[in-house]
Amino acid sequence: MTFILGLTGSIGMGKSTTANLFANEGCDIWDADAAVHRLYSKNGLAVAKIEKIFPYAIENDAVSRDKLKQIISSHPGALKQVEDIIHPLVRADRAGFVQNSNRDIIVLDIPLLFETKSQGEMDAVVCVTAAASVQKQRVLARPGMTEAHFQIILSKQMPDAEKRERADYIVETTTLDHAKQQVHMIVSEIRETLGNA
């Protein structure tokens, strides 16, 4: 039996680091952002579909994320059109990954898990969290990130408190050691459940 664990958390909460901790525990990791990169890259399944509606978003036979961002910010309704193309392709990529995995626990790293109402497809959900001050410090340390852009991203994400409330497990990422302990406990608990199934 395979256990499907959703991993989510707002920007700057330490989700990538936490995904690596789950990988270190022997879990298989699928990353939604990496899937989108594959779909947008040369020969990616999204390229021809995006080119049909936004030909100027294509550069060197791939989708230019920068050009796509410009289109989305200047055309109302463009985001919806892009999501209508991308979401089904991402779901198919995820389904293929799950089908081909042979691990007991598969972690699906989905930043907008609750926002896209995908929690029903998971056996449980982990929310990664940190204090708002830590989150802001981490995000603003990223190259090219501004306070204004950070606020725009936050406005599109469900508040951290609400995500924590909806999640089955919470991983607090203030220190790596603490995060590691929590991940180990979650994996042990799930494996114990699978052993008793």
Tens-digit pLDDT profile for residues 85-124: 999 999 999 999 999 999 999 999 999 899 888 999 999 9
Per the structure block, which two tokens stand in for 135? 């989150």
Query: Sign (positive/negative) of CA torsion 181, 183, 187, 189?
Result: positive
Could you give the dihedral angle defined by the CA atoms of residues 174, 179, 185 and 189, in that order, rounded to the nearest 10 degrees?
90
Lowest mean per-residue pLDDT among 32-36, 38-42, 75-79: 75-79
Backbone angles phi, psi at 28, to 5 degrees: -90, 135
Start and end residues for every CATH 3.40.50.300 domain found in the chain: 1-27+105-197, 33-102
Distance of alpha carbon 68 from alpha carbon 3, whole angstroms: 35
CATH of 33-102, one of 3.40.50.2300, 3.30.470.20, 3.40.50.970, 3.40.50.300: 3.40.50.300
pTM score of the predicted model:
0.89
Average pLDDT value for the chain: 93
- Across residues 23-31, what is the average pLDDT? 97
Q: For the domain bounded by 1-27+105-197, which CATH number is listed?
A: 3.40.50.300
Distance of alpha carbon 12 from alpha carbon 142, whole angstroms: 9
For residue 197, is pLDDT > 70?
no
Length of the chain: 197
Secondary structure, 3-state, 7-66: EECCCCCCHHHHHHHHHHCCCEEEEHHHHHHHHHCCCCCCHHHHHHHCHHHEECCEECHH
